Amino acid sequence: MGARGIRRTMEDNIMDIIIYTILIVVFVMTVYPFYYSVVISFNHGIDASRGGIYFWPRVFSLDNYKAVFSNHELLTGFGITISRTVVGTFATLLFTGLFAYSLANNQLIFRTTYITLLIIAMYFSGGLIPYFILIKKLHLMNSFLVYIIPLLLNAFYTIIMMSFFRELPQELKESAKMDGASDMRIFFSIVIPISAPVFATVALFAGVEHWNSWLDAAFFVTDKDLKTISFMLMELINKANLTAVQGADAERAATYAAQTFTAETIRMATMIVVVIPIICVYPFLQRYFVKGIMVGSIKG
């Protein structure tokens, strides 16, 4: 890349102006709402419900975060979520990666059938009730594995990875084969390293999916020590969300209103709590995108 910009042309300058303008607009438009959420999360709940806060907390308060962290099971929840995210992401990468790699092979017998089955599975679902019964029959209820196994294969990730594997230079594989390497060895010692960008991308997608997922904890886990943090935070929001309750429920819920926080500030605080770890992890994954460039230059 260093070779670019040997001499700057008029076009270069105009392009740069356009590019930096776009960057600034995007930067402001995305940073501000995030900043806004931080501000609201540090404001007193009832006061924030009056509106009109834009740049700085009006009545500074840590109560929202105290409410979030007051749950003693939260630490357990954090532990469960971290484990499921780490284990689950690796398991998904491996399982989906192998599946995608096999489908990327044009010589594969029954390939069309396999892909058809994959595509149909993408769009048809039997709904919640049969799925619940299935999970029960597989004895996955109240088991840590319910967070891992059902997410092993994802059709969308499969297709993204498959299309990447198909672009890989065939010569690499062929020369390794000449040297007597088995198919499995080729995958693990040649394909995986040069596919860092796509693995990093899918890891990010799968990791976020695991991190945010709460429905499985709600439906398939009753054991309180096995609940995930996303689930606990969702519960917290539900509890605070009295004003969204309607009808006769609201009459009863109203009796608790004075004793809880407003949903809005709690939502903001929980969002920040959930997002910060993801933001911290991302730069590490980003390194792999850069690494991919170097690998690319070697293969050329």
Partner 1 sequence: MPNIWRRLRGQLFYQVCALMGIAFLLVFAYTPMVGLIIAFKNFKLTSGIPGFITSEWVGFKWFIEFYNDINFWQIIRNTVAISLLKLFFTFPIPILFALVLNEVRKHSVKRTVQTVSYLPHFISWIVVSGMIFSFFNEQTGVVNHFLVSTGLADKPISFLSDPAYFWPMAVLSDIWKEMGWWTIIFLAAIVGVDPALYEAAVVDGASRMQRIWYITLPTIKGTIIIVLILSIGNLFGGGLGGSNFEQSYLLGNPVNNGVSEILQTYTLKMGLAQGRYSYATAIGLIQSVISLLLIYLSNYLSKRFSGVGLF
Partner 2 sequence: MRRILLMLTSVLLIATVFLTSCSSNKNGDSGSNAMSDEELKKYENVDWNSPEISWKKATEPVSFTSYLDFDWYPIDTWGKDDVSKEITKRTGVSLEVTKSSDPQQLQVLVAADELPDLIFTDKQVERFYNPDLVWAWDELIKKYAPDFMHLIDPIEIINNTADDGHFYTLKTHYNNEKAWADPRNLPSPGDPGLYVREDILNELGNPPLDSFEDMLNVFRMVKEKYPDMVVYLPHPTWTSAFMDFLGLRSANPYEDEQGNIRFGFMHPDFEEYFKYMNQLYREGFLSGESFAYKPEQFFQIVRSGKVFAASYNSGLADETNKIFDDGGIKGHFVPITKALTYKGEDKLKIIDASVGWASLFISKKVKDPARAIQYMQFLKSPEGDSLTQWGIENEHYTLNDDGLLQRSPDFINKKVTETGIGPWYFQASGLGEGVAVSSGALNSKYHSGVELLKFRKTRYVRNPALSFTKPQADTDEFNINVKLTELYLNSQVGIITAANEDEAISKYKKMLEDAKKIGVEKLEKYMTERYLKAKEKYDAVAE
| Residues of the shown chain interacting with partner 2 in the complex, contacts defined by CB under 8 A | 46-47, 49-52, 113, 116-117, 128-130, 132-133, 136-137, 214-215, 218-219, 222, 224, 231, 234-235, 238-239, 241-246, 248-260, 262-264
Name which of partner 2, partner 1, none residue 180 binds, using a CB cut-off of 5 to 8 Å depending on partner kind: none
Q: Are residues 137 and 145 in contact, defined by beta-carbon separation less than 8 angstroms?
A: no
Spatial distance between the Cα atoms of 277 and 230, rounded to a whole number of angstroms: 13
Note whether 193 binds partner 1 by CB under 8 A.
no
- Residue span binding partner 1 (CB under 8 A) among the ranges 82-90, 219-227, 248-256, 273-281: 273-281
C-alpha torsion sign, points 148, 152, 155, 158: positive
How many amino acids of this chain bind partner 1 (CB under 8 A)?
Answer: 97
DSSP 8-state secondary structure symbol assigned to residue 140: -
Buried b or exposed e, range 180-208, using 16+ CB within 10 angstroms: ebeeeebbeebbeebbbbbbbbbbbbbbb
Stretch that binds partner 1, among 78-86, 173-181, 253-261, 283-291 (CB under 8 A): 283-291
Rounded (10°) angle between helices 263-299 and 229-240: 150
Residue of the chain from 57, 197, 209, 239 that contacts partner 1 (CB under 8 A):
197
Tokens of 156: 């969308």
**Which residue lies nearer to partner 2 by CB, 67 or 191?**
67
Instruction: Say which entry of partner 2, partner 1, none residue 124 contacts (CB below 5 to 8 A, set by partner kind).
Output: partner 1
Q: Pick one of partner 2, partner 1, none as the site partner of residue 249 (Cβ within 5 to 8 A by kind).
A: partner 2
